[in-house]
Every structure is written in C-alpha cells, then in structure tokens.
Amino acid sequence: MATSYRDYTSPNTQFTYDMKNNLFFKKDDRNFIDALGIAQLNTLGNSSLLDIYLTTGNVVEPHIHQNAAELVYCIAGEAIVSLINPFTNQLLNYHIKPRQVANIPQGWWHYEMALTDDTHLLAIFDAPVPEVIFGSDILRLTPASVWAHTYCLDEAKVQETFAPLTQTVVIGPPVGCQQQGPLPDRAASSQYPYYGYSSHLPDSYGYYDTNYMQQGGYGQHPVYQQQTSYPQYGTNPSHTGYPPQPVYPSY
C-alpha cells in the first residue's frame, strides 16, 4: 500500500464503488470487462482491478502491462492463463479453476482464454493506473513494410493478413469471425509447455451476433481507433501514459 497524503476529512473522499458503473470493454452481454482504478476510488493505494466475464473460447488478447504485475484469480468457470517467460523464452500455459490464481510479472506478454461459459476472472494489479499495450495495436499500427523487411516476409500477404484489424480487439475473436475447426490442443503439443488440471482446450466455441462495442481507458475513451496513444485503465494527473504516437501511412 502506497503512503497516502489524502485529506480523509474531505467530503469527496471515496471508500466504496460499484464497478458496474465503469465498463472498460464490452464485446457482448456475456463477454465484457469492468474496471476499478484510482480515478474511480480515490483512496486506492498501489492497486486496481479488472472484473472479467468470458464465455468458452473467448480470449483477453495478448498484451503487456508495462508498469504493473497482474494476479489473475478465478472466481467461476475455468481459464488458461498463458505467458511468455522472457528469461527462458518459454510459453507457459496455466489452467486455473475457482480459488486458483496465476501471476504475470510486470511487462510480460500474456493472455487469458475461457474454457467454459460463465467464466469469471478478477485481475489484480499493483498500480493505481495500470497501463496496457495490446497485441492488436502492435500488429495493425506497425507498417506492413516494416514487418516484411524485418522478417523477410511478403508485404502483400502481411497487409492482407492484418487488414481485418481495424481497431483494438481486447476480447477476441471479433464478432463475425469465420474461423473453422477446433481450438488448438496445446496440451498435446510439445511446443506449448502445459501446467494444470485438464488435458486439452475445448473442441469448439461459438460467437454472439451482437454489435462490437468497446470503451477504452476505463470508460473514458469511446473508441480505440481514434486514440493516438496507448490506452490506460483510468486517469491520473501524474500518470498520463505514453505520448501521442506518429500516424503511420498504413493505418
């Protein structure tokens, strides 16, 4: 807990908050994220929360928190929490059930996939305003020419592959995705080290035909595609996040 110099006699001091009033992102009525940061509860120390609801096969997309570690606690359902250990270059997959946790150190690449409907996760951060960089933004905002030149790829194929990424995904797959076939069986592949209680991921998953909706910055920003800086979970006068980024020709 950080040392606080707040005037606790002030009538503006907040000790409680209803997270339903701060929607961070909504894919549909069963896949959404509520958030709590110091902008919502001004007596918080070095802590904040994401309240995550997912159905089978939905994924909180690959991302990093550059200023915070994350502890993922499973309240209901089941999920795979995957992270890359940058010291060993291993992709680690942790299957968590209710009352179990997975920890992601600060700045590590990670993502979460629901294995059952009505999966409910609580993500706990050791920062009052955790920052985030989403994988979909890295993919879509880096010019295709840079990907092609750096990794000796076909630029036209890179452009075609990433063309559907027109905005930050947050919870994937996007509504209307036409992928075919089952989810990958990570436990059966030596490429993916696996830790947990189940032998495989679910065989299939469905989508919901509701409109794709999203709100960034703990409900502060209406749409991601209009942002020129990386989103944050809240507002803090002393912590404004990344400076505006240049507009790339391939947006």
Residue 56's CATH number: 2.60.120.10
Q: Is the pLDDT of residue 60 over 90?
A: yes
Domain assignment present for 56 = yes
Q: State mean pLDDT over 220-230.
A: 34
* 33 in Cβ contact with 123 (< 8 Å): no
Q: Is the pLDDT of residue 200 over 70?
A: no
Which residues form the domain of 210?
A: 20-132+174-226
Closest CA to 211 of 160, 161, 167, 163: 167
Q: State mean pLDDT over 31-42.
A: 95
Q: Is the pLDDT of residue 229 over 80?
A: no
Whole-angstrom Cα Rg for the chain: 19
d(CA 69, CA 65): 7
Q: Which of 146-150, 186-190, 195-199, 247-251 has the highest mean pLDDT?
A: 146-150
Whole-model pTM: value is 0.73
Number of domains in the chain: 1
Domain assignment present for 185 = yes
* 217 in Cβ contact with 234 (< 8 Å): yes
Omega within 30 of 0 (cis) for the link into 182: no
d(CA 231, CA 241): 8
Domain assignment present for 87 = yes
